[in-house]
A and B are shown apart, each in its own frame.
Chain A
Amino acid sequence: MAPRELRALQSQRLQDVVRLVYDRVPHYRKKLDAAGVGPDDIQDIEDISKLPFTTKEDLRETYPFGMFGVPMEEVVRIHASSGTTGKQTVVGYTRKDIHTWAEVIARTLAAGGTHAADFVQNSYGYGLFTGGLGLHYGAELIGASVIPTSGGQTRRQVQIMQDFGSTVLCCTPSYALVIGEEAREIRVEFAKLPLRVGFLGAEPWSQTMRLEIEAALSIDALDIYGLSEIIGPGVGFECLQKTGLHLNEDHFYPEVINPETGEPVADGELGEVVFTTLTKEALPLLRYRTRDLTRILPEPCPCGRTIRRMERVTGRSDDMLIIRGVNVFPSQIEEVLMRVEGTTPNYLLVVDRKPRGMDELEVQVELSSHMFSDEMVKLEGVSAQIGRELENVLGLRVGVRLVEPKTLERSMGKAKRVVDRRELGK
């Protein structure tokens, strides 16, 4: 589509979505009225900057379905992000949304050369997480043979890959390395397998890791981007040029803003990417703050696609961590520690990526006098209980380590809470 046509389409769709949320979502009507902007003020895509931002807070306030733009009988699917009840984000889809989702995933997979004769091994988790079912429908739309292995049982994954001749792998980048490692242990050579390409996302990764995965699995490793609030995977995708992620901007309109001021930044400048869903029905969102830091790459891509690209996400404008596809906020950890101990001890989160392995989160907790016991059984009980509660809340197994008081570094005023050793910038 020529840029001028795309712009006309985006302008039309923006008018439609603003009209939709104004008419159907009371929370949005209130927000738009407060901002002094109505559907009639939106004539062109440029007018988007008149609209207020939407944040995770808006979704929390209207939990679980308050931001939905259709009656529940039109909603055919619900997904939710991990987290405590207060923190989980609930998203819905109409039949048309599911079709849009399959469409953008089909584009994603096609950009890596996937076609009807392919065997797509989908090792993203199936369930409330958008990864599994999101990729699934897109791969089916292409007509590929989908193998819904979901996550885990790595040896079986390798077995299936060998026996069925999987050509396409969908999973998180760290799980791709785990599969690679397992295959090496049981002496399966990827160079001799038909596996050709991987669509890897749901967690931040680096160029170094791409090279490692490509060498270990003998594939092209492509980055995919998405967030459940916008649709799930399928918001952005890399083509085989591997030079940034093409954005499906006919459905999700991107802006990059200065996270402090909310002002747009120039193309090529680093900022927070914000998306407006142009066609979503069940959960239409205006200028949703992703907190992901990236930049728009204005140069045309050698692949010929005219939709714009963004650079791979290099960081966050808040303190959220993404570990094995799970969103973790330090505040969730605080709540658990508070509940277990009755007070919030000083703590530190250490995220590490084992060589050729999965991301690991360790919670270091400073011991206080009332937590201490001369009996080892009781001390071990304290860390085990914290570990269990954290796993319940986060849906993620974490290591818990008790440390002496004042061991953890305190910077001026606020304590340093997170040490990320994954070297994502490289």
Chain B
Amino acid sequence: MSAIQISVFLENKSGRLAEVTQALAKANVNIRALSLAETIDYGVLRLIVNRPQEASEALTSAGFIVTETDVVAAEMPDRPGALAALVEVLTRQRLNIEYCYAFVAKRGDNAVVIFRVDDAQAALSALEGGGAHVLSGAELSGL
């Protein structure tokens, strides 16, 4: 099962990131992971949160442009070579990774990597077929 990522468009001006985090705090949303990609003029903030629906609503009503995307969250042992093994699985299936980011989970000794691929369903099967544990939305929320 794939997970939901919240993406937010941010113009490069001071205070915008703070406004995002404040809106999420007010909506009682907990951020699990985030990644920020930027150009000269703007950035795209990608968030994994415990309650995607509420996060999306809170940000939209705060005037942000928000989109929800299916991503794949795979668990991996927190040790050298673990990510390489996962990427290898996707590469073998000719699945193109648009981007990815990772965080270390509080639970156990594992890390979690978020993959954004064109075909989330195919990536999910590939990773599970390769023996990786793919986290469900509920599992992600519970981290």
Cross-chain contact A402 with B67 (CB below 8 angstroms) = no
Cross-chain contact A369 with B67 (CB below 8 angstroms) = yes
Complex Cα distance A304/B53, Å? 79
Known A374-B46, A376-B44: A404·B39 in contact at CB below 8 Å: no
Q: Does A263 contact B (CB under 8 A)?
A: no
Cross-chain contact B98 with A405 (CB below 8 angstroms) = no
Q: Does B42 contact A (CB under 8 A)?
A: yes
Which A378-399 residues sit within 8 Å CB-CB of chain B? Answer: 379-380
Cross-chain contact B42 with A402 (CB below 8 angstroms) = yes
Which A395-421 residues sit within 8 Å CB-CB of chain B? Answer: 401-407
Complex Cα distance A12/B16, Å? 69
Nearest Cβ in chain B — how far from A389, in angstroms? 19
B116: chain A residues within 8 A (beta carbon)? 374-375
Cross-chain contact B65 with A375 (CB below 8 angstroms) = no
Q: Does A43 contact B (CB under 8 A)?
A: no
Interface residues on chain A, size class? 10 to 19
Complex Cα distance A379/B11, Å? 13
Q: Which residue of B lies closest to A372 (CB)?
A: B65
Q: Which residue of A lies closest to B67 (CB)?
A: A372
Cross-chain contact B5 with A402 (CB below 8 angstroms) = no
Q: Does A368 contact B (CB under 8 A)?
A: yes
Known A379-B44, A404-B11: A367·B65 in contact at CB below 8 Å: yes
Nearest Cβ in chain B — how far from A408, in angstroms? 11
Nearest Cβ in chain A — how far from B55, in angstroms? 14
Complex Cα distance A373/B69, Å? 9
A402: chain B residues within 8 A (beta carbon)? 9, 41-42
Cross-chain contact A401 with B65 (CB below 8 angstroms) = no
Nearest Cβ in chain A — how far from B14, in angstroms? 13
Q: Does B63 contact A (CB under 8 A)?
A: yes
Nearest Cβ in chain A — how far from B33, in angstroms? 14
**Dominant secondary structure of chain B at its interface with chain A:** strand
Complex Cα distance A367/B66, Å? 11
A405: chain B residues within 8 A (beta carbon)? 63, 65
B42: chain A residues within 8 A (beta carbon)? 379, 402-404
B84: chain A residues within 8 A (beta carbon)? none
Nearest Cβ in chain A — how far from B47, in angstroms? 10
B99: chain A residues within 8 A (beta carbon)? 375
Complex Cα distance A380/B64, Å? 19
Mark interface residues in B56-85 (1 if CB within 8 Å of A CB, else 0): 000000011111010000000000000000
Cross-chain contact B37 with A376 (CB below 8 angstroms) = yes
Complex Cα distance A373/B65, Å? 10
Q: Does B50 contact A (CB under 8 A)?
A: no
Cross-chain contact A373 with B67 (CB below 8 angstroms) = yes
Which B16-70 residues sit within 8 Å CB-CB of chain A? Answer: 16, 37, 39, 41-42, 44, 46, 63-67, 69
Nearest Cβ in chain A — how far from B83, in angstroms? 21
Complex Cα distance A389/B122, Å? 36
Q: Which residue of B lies closest to A364 (CB)?
A: B41
Cross-chain contact B63 with A401 (CB below 8 angstroms) = no
Q: Does B10 contact A (CB under 8 A)?
A: yes
B63: chain A residues within 8 A (beta carbon)? 404-406
Complex Cα distance A376/B37, Å? 8
B98: chain A residues within 8 A (beta carbon)? 375, 377
Q: Which residue of A lies closest to B60 (CB)?
A: A369
Which A281-303 residues sit within 8 Å CB-CB of chain B? Answer: none
Which A326-376 residues sit within 8 Å CB-CB of chain B? Answer: 367-369, 372-376
Nearest Cβ in chain B — how far from A172, in angstroms? 28
Complex Cα distance A373/B99, Å? 13
Known A401-B41, A402-B42: A374·B7 in contact at CB below 8 Å: yes
B67: chain A residues within 8 A (beta carbon)? 369, 372-374
B-to-A contact residues, CB < 8 Å: 5, 7, 9-11, 16, 37, 39, 41-42, 44, 46, 63-67, 69, 98-99, 116
* Further 20 A-B residue pairs, CB within 8 A, beyond A374-B116, A375-B116: A367-B9, A367-B65, A369-B66, A372-B67, A374-B5, A374-B7, A374-B46, A376-B37, A376-B39, A379-B44, A380-B39, A401-B41, A402-B9, A402-B41, A403-B42, A404-B10, A404-B16, A404-B64, A404-B65, A407-B11
A-B contact pairs, 12 of them (CB 8 A): A369-B65, A372-B7, A372-B67, A374-B44, A374-B116, A375-B98, A376-B44, A402-B42, A404-B9, A404-B16, A404-B63, A405-B63
